[in-house]
Structure 1
């Protein structure tokens, strides 16, 4: 949690998407289509083929067509083809909402709290989130997408943009993200924040700040 001294009551909760609202699984997209050994390497934390790095560039606002020649040059045609398949079938990497998260959004809204989205996601694939899970778009008051804004968590500018766009006071917000550096980025921007693990823990974390749902 943030070290902020702001004791303002929480009025709004800001959510990351992948790993918080949505179950994002690169493996779910690739398994059964490519050799298992290759899929295991791509989906490993130390992925030698750089999928996470290339996707991070897309999340920061670069277009796939601009990145793809680098993938070919650095990884070869076979791996580059798998990366193209992954992006072309990205909806398969989003198998479900994470358990309990739709209900958490609904409970927060019913209790009068604002709920918002702030995600690192490519402008070319983000639409799939709302197409597969329209309830998220219906429940959130708005979403800031890194690839659209060409800003990127954990940099302070994207948090500040979200606060401005949503009309929020940093001290009255709490942010949930599954990546430690993004939690730290929110705290630097003056937003109280928690590292997300699951819906039950999120409810306990919110309750610790006086959120009643």
Structure 2
């Protein structure tokens, strides 16, 4: 580690550490046409807009009446099912990521989490994948802090809470705007593709595993 300016690596959760598949939660429980629409990038039912509100710190109970009013009872019932069965949308850790985190820790790097996630459902990730408790030295959760990537305040909070220096950190996220948000506070932001690409990116920054 002494040969590298990097001392700490920060990871997003969904799409980086965990495979997040809304479809895996809903398939077989609701009409396929409706599931396809919900899972499409241009989802007319606004699932991910409502989920973003939860990630920003709002309670499900406060959002649900808006879903009913804006989408109708049927779609609202699907959204409730999704939130209540959220673990089904997390079928696995992404290939190679547990090994990468273990390698980083074995070589003395700090390993941290920074995720946009609801305070009401974040426990599911740690309950389903208890190794995250061992692999991560700490995690900042947007819904707990009522801050939200890509805004600078949540990155700055993570740095201050964990006692990190921005220029000595790498942050992996699968969403480009969140990578830009990290860059803007001085963290080395990297757009995540897969575990092997992450290893290559770390090697380019001087991390030797």
SS at match of 1:81: helix
**CA–CA distance in structure 1, aligned partners of residues 106 and 59 of structure 2:** 38
RMSD between aligned alpha carbons? 0.6
Q: How much does 1:182 deviate?
A: 0.1
Report the counterpart of residue 208 of structure 2 in structure 1: 212
Report the counterpart of residue 82 of structure 1 in structure 2: 78
Gaps of 5+ in 2: none
Report the counterpart of residue 67 of structure 2 in structure 1: 71
SS at match of 2:180: helix
Could you list the per-position Cα deviations for residues 129-164 of structure 1 after superposition, in whole angstroms to 9, with x for gaps in the alignment?
000001011110000000000000000000000000
Report the counterpart of residue 54 of structure 2 in structure 1: 58
Could you list the per-position Cα deviations for residues 4-48 of structure 1 after superposition, in whole angstroms to 9, with x for gaps in the alignment?
xxxx70000000000000000000000000000000000001100
Q: How much does 1:201 deviate?
A: 0.2
Report the counterpart of residue 37 of structure 2 in structure 1: 41
Q: How much does 1:93 deviate?
A: 0.3
**CA–CA distance in structure 2, aligned partners of residues 189 and 121 of structure 1:** 21
Could you list the per-position Cα deviations for residues 138-196 of structure 1 after superposition, in whole angstroms to 9, with x for gaps in the alignment?
11000000000000000000000000000000010000000000000000011011000
SS at match of 2:41: coil
SS at match of 2:172: strand
**CA–CA distance in structure 2, aligned partners of residues 184 and 79 of structure 1:** 34
Report the counterpart of residue 196 of structure 1 in structure 2: 192
Report the counterpart of residue 120 of structure 2 in structure 1: 124
**CA–CA distance in structure 2, aligned partners of residues 193 and 151 of structure 1:** 18
Alignment of 1:4-153 (within 5 A): 9-153=5-149
SS at match of 2:9: strand
TM-score under structure 1 length normalisation:
0.96
**Equivalent of 1:155, from 144, 147, 151?**
151
**CA–CA distance in structure 2, aligned partners of residues 16 and 48 of structure 1:** 26
Number of aligned residue pairs:
206
**CA–CA distance in structure 2, aligned partners of residues 14 and 78 of structure 1:** 39
Worse overlay, 98-107 or 130-139? 130-139
Gaps of 5+ in 1: 1-7
TM-score under structure 2 length normalisation:
0.98
